[in-house]
Chain A
């Protein structure tokens, strides 16, 4: 266990280094001159010259990387030029919002997806199975944007039950926060629920036909115990990996949902930053997201240990 952990941790440093170069390099490939983009409507040449000097845009790429990496190692991710705020502050401000959204989404996805998956595997080829499959197909093929607008039309405009968009901090008003987040979380979790359902179903079907399950049944165990204790535990291994990766994906994939529901989270932060060529924000946010992703991967590996005794060997 310890050796495994050390091995895994050792790969993180070169990975992050590679990621930082990739982020920086890809950003250089973005078309358009950041100084021009930031100079605004008027394109005053003095302003452009000032911005070029401020962001070392006239210096070679490796020097710019050096300046940035030096800052990052000192815990300084730079400042947003657009709104004059440190990137670290922006991340700390937006992260809880997106984490809450993604967490609510994943809970929704697991509750609906895993239970529908189990149900359709256990009740294979019955009406339950077909219904769960239709549900999955619907989830996979409904565009987030469209579903979001439909829900807003129904629950906010027509029924007036929920706010159309926006965000309230849970520390200010928990009820208001949940009311504002439930629609976006559902929209975000919807397609992932479908993915989880499909995976749980196939994993369960495979496990349910395995020898040890037959043995368990032959022992005369209750079907509930067979399914939940023996089969599900093994079937969940791939589902957990998927869940961890999916959480990372949800964190980064909240862009459309956040745009539709005007939620000031990570997704909107990065998209606006890319369009405005607010480089330090883009770099800071991507680096941070990559770190989170890598950490989640590590946690998923550790989770295997806990659910699957064979890997502890």
Chain B
């Protein structure tokens, strides 16, 4: 290489590096997403990528209000058994196909009927979809279903190109075609997902990057090191223990949002015969004593470095759906001891199963130490995550440290966990009056009436304790301080709209 070409090469390298840093947003993810098909997808982290790739009928704002995205307005019928949506005009999919009522019908039916669909349950109350005209679609329901709009703010509301979906069949996820601000370029499993700006995006004024690159980096300290060395602009789920180290550095900012999910301890109270074989599952007084042994604030301090809000329900105390009639119980060792004495088991013993993540194990250890002061003998059993889920599903456990990522509507944190025989009801909780209340809450279209029902449900759950809720984690985001326009939506998903470098 002669010196002129060498200089040219160097100059082009420098130019491309500078160009890339000005126009590419590089996001560090805590895990590698699963399949990029909104119908089949099942992980939290995948939803972060979808937010750049696939627009939804509705979106959420920072206060969890439901706001328009592909649907511009909605109207419920008088009996709340039909939802009519007006659709945004001039929207196209990444393959140039038009987005219209027929596309919405196709997508909702795909969610409902595709083999292996994970959206079927969420859309179960929708019985049929009518195309009223090109920009109007009507969803017919078997019965009123309050969580429906919230469901449409997530994957069930994501619209893919019908033409591309039909052509790709079951392999759509390998090359998804949606209508979001960025279109799919390539994916190298476990390395990166590259998206580029879709020039015909309906809201292109809000998009300030040419490319978004998502890189899964599992280890939190390595993710942070990439941010600090300038290879990433944004990382999600930074470790709570790293917060103090980054605070003094003004090149970076930290955002924290209280999650819509929760961390709790699920107790086997009726999932299998094992529920009756240990005092915790057998006797509600022992469960009450167990809860009274716990100092939630201390657990948060020790296990989470203070990066969580204490709580006692399936939604956080700052959530509008929090049932105020059941406040967070304070630690009371004397009362707990009295309850154990009354139950005739001063030293109850049980096994606390925990996934092998460091947070979960820390929680288990702190709980073990706290409960010991009351007289509990807690054996901690760390179990690989898939195995622990399987054991929980079979009811082969006493108590289980389990987190839930949460859904925008409280029903997503409640129904599947506390209604009889639902798939996530690992506790085996089944009480006809609670089922009745939950079903009424799902049909309640008046928010005030719905909240009243939640208060009644919470009164039962707080007494029966199928889950002892502990706290709600902070979503910790760390990012380059040049980045502005970041919206902190409590679902923990980064929105690329309005995001830019100053």
Contacts and interface: CB of A to CB of B under 8 A. Distances in A.
Instruction: Tell whether A and B belong to one assembly.
Output: yes
Interface of A: 31-33, 36-47, 50-51, 54, 80-85, 90, 93-94, 149, 152-153, 156-157, 160, 163-167, 259-264, 268-269, 272, 275-277
B36 to A, nearest CB: 8
Given A163-B231, A165-B222, A259-B218, A264 B386 contact: no
A261 B229 CA distance: 14
Contact of A83 (B35, B117, B170, B222): B35
Given A33-B393, A47-B117, A82-B35, A42 B229 contact: no
Contacts of B423: 42-45
B61 to A, nearest CB: 24
Interface of B: 32, 34-35, 37, 41-44, 115-118, 120-122, 170-171, 173-174, 187-192, 215-219, 221-222, 225-226, 228-231, 384-387, 389-391, 393, 404-405, 416, 423-424
A178 to B, nearest CB: 15
B226 A264 contact: no
Contacts of A272: 32, 190
B436 to A, nearest CB: 22
A164 B116 contact: no
A54 B115 CA distance: 10
Given A32-B389, A42-B121, 17 more contacts: A31-B387, A32-B384, A36-B393, A41-B42, A43-B393, A43-B416, A44-B423, A46-B120, A85-B189, A94-B189, A160-B229, A160-B230, A166-B191, A166-B192, A262-B219, A268-B190, A275-B384
A50 B386 contact: no
8 contacts: A36-B390, A41-B43, A42-B42, A43-B416, A44-B121, A50-B115, A166-B192, A260-B222
A151 to B, nearest CB: 10
A85 B193 CA distance: 14
B466 to A, nearest CB: 16
A269 B218 CA distance: 13
Contacts of A38: 42
A94 to B, nearest CB: 8
B34 A262 contact: no
Contacts of B389: 32, 36-37
Nearest to A39: B42
A95 to B, nearest CB: 13
Contact of B390 (A37, A41, A166, A264): A37
Nearest to B392: A36
B34 A275 contact: no
Nearest to A155: B229
Contacts of B170: 84
A298 to B, nearest CB: 31
Contacts of B192: 166
A164 B225 contact: yes
A85 B217 contact: no
A41 B44 contact: yes
A46 B124 CA distance: 12
